[in-house]
Structure 1
Amino acid sequence: MPETTTHSPEAATQAVDEEPAVPPVHERASAVARRVDELIRKHDPDLVALRRRIHSRPELGWSEHETTDLLMERLRAAGLEPRRLDPTGVIVDIGAEPRPAKPGRIALRADIDALPIPEETGLDFASQIPGRAHACGHDLHTAALFGATLALAELERAGDLPVGVRCIFQPAEEVQPGGAKTVIAQGGVAGVARIYALHCAPRVTLGTIGSRIGPITAAGDTLTLTVSADGGHTSRPHHTGDVIAALSHLATGLPAVLGRRTDPRAAVSLTWGAIEAGSAANAMPASGTLTGTIRCLHTGVWAELEQLVEHAAHHLAAPFGVELSIDHVKGIPPVDNEESAVRCLDAAVKDQIGPGAVELTDQSLGGEDFAWYLREVPGAMVRLGTRTPGGPNHDLHRGDAVFDERAIGIGARVLARTALLTGEELSG
């Protein structure tokens, strides 16, 4: 991946009244695309303001009460009837209920939670909550979906919405196995024919959408190994199991074993994020832990990993005379984009932004709980370019992550146009 560089907050948070890097609607756009652009353009300043308010008050998964209240208030003010999810999150339906002769609703989804990391951007609207930041762009997702919701509601009032739409403001995407499962359990995709989402991509240039048929993300699990023994004096290591030696062997040996026991095309990646044991130079600890993530591009291999990890880890730890317990938390499968949904979304991007606005994107080892929706209904997620043209690269899940705010309006237009095109396709 390209090296993350330093940044200027001013360069990455363009004011909405500046000349946009990409024209909002290109010269050969359809009449529908021009109307969508007109409906959303008038809301652009409010969408940026909404994003900045959410950004300054980041909330972690299952605790997004202030964000949920704000969305409920704004949606009601727009004449809509949102439904609050339990404990957080919002669903709002636009248009009549599907009938036998009509397709199901088209669902559009955004996530609303933040990350437990401190913000380091220096922006005027930076996080006011210590240790929390919207470093994954969920605040942009939320503002973009809100803009699409307003435009689609206006089309419905004018009698020009060809299909019912459901807008889902989902909690807890960053919490495995993800808030999507709770949304589904509360009827979030009941009566839905297709579902779409965008995800910020700070290495994709503004005005470009990264698209892919098939898997676009990876499966991801969390793995914690706990090693224990009697502990003792470092002068007599033979009298107790060696917790630190066992952890060290597991830290290097287990990824190596997985690399030889799985198909390399599945790209299994075990990476440790924390190792904890001991507090004194001359005392062998009685316990220690090793924690990390396992990521995998292939659904079938992912299903076999738990048994393989269990077998290999116990064999690696056994020579050190320690006890080993394994907490393997199954995460999420890959986001597997359905072909017709991708083609419809790509067509919407080309109509709304321009013929050259879609690029093929690589499959990522990152995880996304949007995958759970795609096990229920067909759909697609694509990457929304948020890198300022000519500006530096950034990365997600960093305290200094910044996103070009002009992507909000682009995302809103793409989501609204996708819903309309899909409705036309399924109704035809």
Structure 2
Amino acid sequence: RIFALHCDPRLEVGRLGTRVGPITSACDLIEVRLTSPGGHTSRPHLTADLVQALGLLATQVPLLLTRHVDPRSGTVLTWGAVHAGDAANAIPQSGLLRGTLRTADHATWTELEEKLRALVAAVLAPTGVGYVLDHVRGVPPVVNDEVSTGMLRDAAVTVGGEAADASTEQSSGGEDFAWYLEHSAGAMARLGVWSGTGKQRDIHQPTFDLDERALPFGSRVLVQAALSALAQAAS
């Protein structure tokens, strides 16, 4: 078995958030590079309007994708960068759209690349704009098995008492611990790092800080979970 802990500033020090099943989401990187002959904005009919195509791609593909996947899968395509052109009166020859494609469901994740490619092709077909789509497969969801999750939960209670046990929600963030779980049973839990007073600082902000009392608690929990796993294997 394999175990992991991830900092969680929403939980106080001495608490451990556990969840059976998916606790994070899959995350793929998407990049679409568009090309056009370019031209003057007074004559868009003589060329392929790349900026308009970018706008269609950015707005229509995320919307259409919601109608091609199970809404319970927590699938979301969000663009984080868009670049095209410099002059107000010139249709550019190239453009770029980058974003992330996330899903909470492992089965859905395996189907997303094919669905996305079909939607991008369908949206861009009437525009005459050329494109290259790079779909970089990222991490699958972290899916905790029930037995391993129970070991982490019991370990937290052994180390910190009943108050140490906390439930946690599935996150839409990605976590490469998921690759280990493709080969071994295991679980990841959320380690409380908030002091209990003051502002809860997000883990992805430059102001993030943690109460270091969480470190020995987390270490003891992992040791206790490992001992439980070894005892089960030996029995």
Look up the match of 1:249: 56
Q: Work out which of the residue numbers 19, 22, 41 in structure 2 matches 1:234.
A: 41
Deviations along 1:6-29, whole A, 9 cap, x unmatched? xxxxxxxxxxxxxxxxxxxxxxxx
Report SS of the residue matched to 1:217. Answer: coil
Instruction: Please list every run of 5 or more consecutive structure 1 residues that lacks an aligned counterpart in the other structure.
Output: 1-193
Deviations along 1:194-224, whole A, 9 cap, x unmatched? 1111001112222111101111111111111
Look up the match of 1:293: 100
Report SS of the residue matched to 2:175. Answer: coil
Look up the match of 2:13: 206
Instruction: Please list every run of 5 or more consecutive structure 2 residues that lacks an aligned counterpart in the other structure.
Output: none
Offset of residue 234 of structure 1: 1.6
Offset of residue 314 of structure 1: 1.1
Instruction: Please list, as runs of the form range in 1=range in 2, the aligned pairs for 1:6-45 lying within 5 A after superposition.
Output: none
Offset of residue 352 of structure 1: 0.5
User: In the aligned structure 2, how far is the partner of 1:397 from the partner of 1:233?
Assistant: 43
Name the one with the larger strand percent.
2
Instruction: Please list, as runs of the form range in 1=range in 2, the aligned pairs for 1:392-411 lying within 5 A after superposition.
Output: 392-411=199-218
Look up the match of 2:4: 197
User: In the aligned structure 1, how far is the partner of 2:125 from the partner of 2:33?
Assistant: 13
2:211 maps to a residue whose letter is D
Does residue 279 of the first structure (1) align with residue 112 of the second (2)?
A: no
Does residue 258 of the first structure (1) align with residue 76 of the second (2)?
A: no
Alignment root-mean-square deviation, CA:
1.1
User: In the aligned structure 1, how far is the partner of 2:219 from the partner of 2:184?
Assistant: 22
User: In the aligned structure 1, how far is the partner of 2:40 from the partner of 2:234?
Assistant: 75
Q: Work out which of the residue numbers 195, 198, 201 in structure 2 matches 1:388.
A: 195
1:325 maps to a residue whose letter is V
Q: Work out which of the residue numbers 91, 100, 115 in structure 2 matches 1:308.
A: 115
Offset of residue 276 of structure 1: 0.8
Identity of aligned residues (%): 46
2:149 maps to a residue whose letter is V
Deviations along 1:278-319, whole A, 9 cap, x unmatched? 112222110111100011011111111111111111111122
Does residue 356 of the first structure (1) align with residue 163 of the second (2)?
A: yes
User: In the aligned structure 2, how far is the partner of 1:316 from the partner of 1:219?
Assistant: 25
Deviations along 1:370-412, whole A, 9 cap, x unmatched? 1111111111100011122032122222222222222112111
Query: Across the two proteins, how many residue pairs are aligned to each other?
Result: 235
User: In the aligned structure 2, how far is the partner of 1:242 from the partner of 1:404?
Assistant: 53
Offset of residue 338 of structure 1: 1.2
Look up the match of 1:324: 131
Deviations along 1:174-209, whole A, 9 cap, x unmatched? xxxxxxxxxxxxxxxxxxxx1111001112222111
Larger relative contact order (CA 8 Å, sep ≥ 6) = 2
2:213 maps to a residue whose letter is R
Which aligned runs of 4 or more in structure 1 are off by greater than 2 angstroms?
Answer: none
Report SS of the residue matched to 1:261. Answer: coil
